[in-house]
């Protein structure tokens, strides 16, 4: 069978919400055409949607390397790297317990990079604001919250950011 046939089956599986089967079809297509950037890219998207970030990153990196002129592949890879950095920083902050302030500096560096890679990542921006708050850099945290508030948001997220903004304003007043 040709790679195109496997791809059609993968798309059909996605349409039927059978992502495990779609991944299997993408893998077969890659067996036939291992250097096909677009197959790696589409496989990466499906891996990411299936919660397989490591595999998604691997194939996004391959797609971007195979077709460096394809901006779409690079943007996808950047977005996945941002997700990975955000997850790492979040875990670092959550596991730090009462040593959260010492964990906040390296977490803030990771999160700052995550925001650079994907400026539309609300998750990265919120965690960056939290890290800045732990470092008692309330003005920076407030600016990040305001930047995040400028993104397209649902009502729940907008409300949470507003609450976060109010808490930071209060902390700024208290520290003055």
In this prediction, residue 170 carries a pLDDT of: 95
Q: Mind giving me the DSSP string for 104-144?
A: HHHHHHHHHHHHHH-TT-HHHHHHHHHHHHHTT-HHHHHHH
Each residue of 116-129: pLDDT tens digit?
Answer: 999 999 999 999 99
Residue 98 pLDDT > 80: no
Residue 84 pLDDT > 80: yes
Residue 150 pLDDT > 90: yes
User: The domain 81-175 is classified under which CATH number: 1.25.40.10, 1.20.120.1200, 1.10.3720.10, 3.40.120.10?
Assistant: 1.25.40.10
The domains spanning 3-69 and 81-175 adopt the same CATH topology:
yes
Using DSSP, state whether 52 is helix, strand or coil: coil
Instruction: Give the class (CATH, top level) of 3-69.
Output: mainly alpha
Average pLDDT, the chain: 95
CA dihedral 115, 117, 122, 124 (to 10 degrees): -50
In this prediction, residue 96 carries a pLDDT of: 78
């Amino acid at each position: 069978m040709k790679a195109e046939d496997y791809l059609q089956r993968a798309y059909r599986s996605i349409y039927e919400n059978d992502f495990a089967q779609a991944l299997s079809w993408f893998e077969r297509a890659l067996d036939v055409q291992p250097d096909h950037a677009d197959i790696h890219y589409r496989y990466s998207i499906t891996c990411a949607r299936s919660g397989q970030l490591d595999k998604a990153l691997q194939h996004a990196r391959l797609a971007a390397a195979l077709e460096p002129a394809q901006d779409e592949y690079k943007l996808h890879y950047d977005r996945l790297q941002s997700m990975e950095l955000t997850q790492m920083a979040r875990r670092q902050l959550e596991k730090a317990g009462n040593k959260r302030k010492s964990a906040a500096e390296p977490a803030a560096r990771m999160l700052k990079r995550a925001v650079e890679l994907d400026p539309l990542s609300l998750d990265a921006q919120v965690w960056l604001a939290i890290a800045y708050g732990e470092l008692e850099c309330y003005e920076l945290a407030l600016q990040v919250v305001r930047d995040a508030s400028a993104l397209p948001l649902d009502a729940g997220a907008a409300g949470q950011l507003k609450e976060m903004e109010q808490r930071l304003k209060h902390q700024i007043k208290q520290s003055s």
